[in-house]
Structure 1
Amino acid sequence: MRTYAIGDIHGYSSELDRAHRLIAKDRARAGDDGAPVVHIGDLCDRGPDTRGVIDRLLAGMSSGEPWIVLKGNHDRMMELFLRESETRDHRLRPQLEWLHPNLGGSETLASYGVDTSLPAVELHRDARAKVPEAHRAFIADLPLQYERGACFFAHAGIHPDVPLDRQDEDDLVWIREPFLSDTRDHGKLIVHGHTAIDAATHYGNRLNIDSRAGYGEPISAVVLEGRDAWLLTEDGRETLPHV
């Protein structure tokens, strides 16, 4: 059972396009055009073209592409900000908000032509007017998890002490510890992003595919068959051994 997955995108539409080209090349080699592509979340923030990212995803899904798009913590922050009554994600540290320079919300709004220098009330009004309702609804309705074969996909990971069918939204989009240091088998390979690392890495019980796209590095596209995974490159598949 083959599944493709794409790591955190963070507003880099050109990198998203490159990842899909790599997947198309692998489909051609493998003779398989029906395997789903799971986008692991964090579509927005930091990069210059969140609007383009969401436009591409909406267009592909509308045309029948077998794409699954999961919600990341940055997507949830965007969703909450754009509600009629702006809401702050309760998992943020007290000194942070979505428009803080460390988080990248301003870059997201700028991609829609929002004037991010406006006072807070006017900025929120301008954002609600310029971010299309279709985009707001898409972000709000993103699923939190996806299961296929031997794999369980979630943006941040899982709480290792909770069954997969009882995971909490906060953990699925925000967790780091105790998930990252837990070496137990979780019943399925957990495929996730959220925690930026230098390159996609297979840890045996989990696979992290966040390769720092939010900091200008290439997005990772991988193909999974069972619990085995390969990084897709211009030269074909590169095995991701367990570490």
Structure 2
Amino acid sequence: MRTYAIGDIHGHLDKLRGAHDLIAADRDAYGETEAPIVHVGDLVDRGPDSAGVIDYLMKGQQSGENWIVLRGNHDRMFLGFLDDPYTEDPILSAEVSYLNPRVGGEATLESYGIPDAFSRPLDEVTSELSAIPQSHRDWLARQPAYFPRGEAIFVHAGIRPGVAMEDQVEDDLLWIRKPFLTDPRDHGALIVHGHTNIKAATHYGNRLNLDSGAGYGHPLSTVVIEGSDAWLLTPEGRAELPRG
């Protein structure tokens, strides 16, 4: 059973298109054109074209592409800001607002034609949020928090170790780091995730981290998974990701 997966996009439509091009080349080389493509969340913030990323993925799904798009913590923060700009995500530090450059929400609003949101009065910015299409909001709100397939479970941040999937809470699925990242146990499936920025996609045996820092100017990682084995897709073809 083959599945393709793409790491945290963070508003980089050009990198997303490049990832899909790598998948198309792999399909040409290995067949299996029906294998789904899973995007592990954080579509928005930091990069220059969050609006374009959402539009591209939304229209792809609407046209019948077998694309799974998971909700990331940045996607949840964006939706929360649109619902109530005066309320922050409960997991976000009280000292850092969604529009703070560290989070990157200002870049997301910029992509919708709302400039300089961090430096202007919030009331003024709030009055301009109608520039964000309701179709984008509704589509983003419908995306799931995790996706099981074969020997893998795809999720944005990770899982709470030792807790059944049906008992997991969204705060963990979208935000967790420790104790998930430090737990060496078999989780019953390969957990494929992003959220925690590392230098390159890495297979740890019980989990596979795809967040190679696209939001910070680094490459967007794209992998193909067969069973619990994984390969990084490159312009030269597949590069095996050995289990750590």
- Is the pair's TM-score, using the shorter chain for normalization, greater than 0.5? yes
TM-score normalised per structure 2: 0.97
Q: Secondary structure at the match of 2:153?
A: strand
Which residue number in structure 1 is paired with residue 78 of structure 2? 78
> Is residue 46–residue 108 contact of structure 1 (8 Å, CA) maintained in 2?
yes
Q: How far does residue 121 in structure 1 lie from its aligned partner after superposition?
A: 1.1
Percent identity between the two aligned chains? 57
CA distance in 2, matches of 1:220, 1:122: 37
Q: Decide which moves more: 117-126 or 24-33.
A: 117-126
CA distance in 2, matches of 1:44, 1:63: 22
CA distance in 2, matches of 1:174, 1:201: 19
Q: Alignment length, in residue pairs?
A: 242
Question: Which residue of the other structure, out of 114, 121, 126, is the alignment partner of 1:124?
Answer: 126
Which residue number in structure 1 is paired with residue 8 of structure 2? 8
Per-residue CA distance 1:168-197 (angstroms, 9 max, x = gap)? 100000000000000000000000000000
CA distance in 2, matches of 1:57, 1:193: 18
> Is residue 77–residue 98 contact of structure 2 (8 Å, CA) maintained in 1?
yes
CA distance in 1, matches of 2:60, 2:230: 24
> Is residue 80–residue 86 contact of structure 1 (8 Å, CA) maintained in 2?
no
Which residue number in structure 1 is paired with residue 69 of structure 2? 69
> Is residue 85–residue 126 contact of structure 2 (8 Å, CA) maintained in 1?
no
CA distance in 1, matches of 2:87, 2:33: 41
Which structure 1 residue ranges, 5 or more long, are not aligned? none
Query: What pairs up with 1:34-73 in 2 under 5 angstroms?
Result: 34-73=34-73
Per-residue CA distance 1:65-104 (angstroms, 9 max, x = gap)? 0000000000000000001565310001111110111000
Q: Secondary structure at the match of 2:83?
A: coil
Q: Secondary structure at the match of 1:82?
A: helix
Q: Secondary structure at the match of 1:58?
A: helix
CA distance in 2, matches of 1:87, 1:223: 38
Q: Secondary structure at the match of 1:109?
A: helix
Q: Decide which moves more: 163-172 or 33-42.
A: 163-172
Paired amino acid for 2:137 = R
TM-score normalised per structure 1: 0.97
Which residue number in structure 2 is paired with residue 148 of structure 1? 149
CA distance in 1, matches of 2:10, 2:92: 18
Q: Secondary structure at the match of 2:8?
A: coil
> Is residue 162–residue 187 contact of structure 2 (8 Å, CA) maintained in 1?
no
Instruction: Compute the RMSD of aligned alpha carbons.
Output: 1.0
Q: How far does residue 165 in structure 1 lie from its aligned partner after superposition?
A: 2.2
CA distance in 2, matches of 1:141, 1:170: 17
The answer to whether the aligner puts 1:138 opposite 2:135 as a matched pair is: no
CA distance in 1, matches of 2:140, 2:120: 24
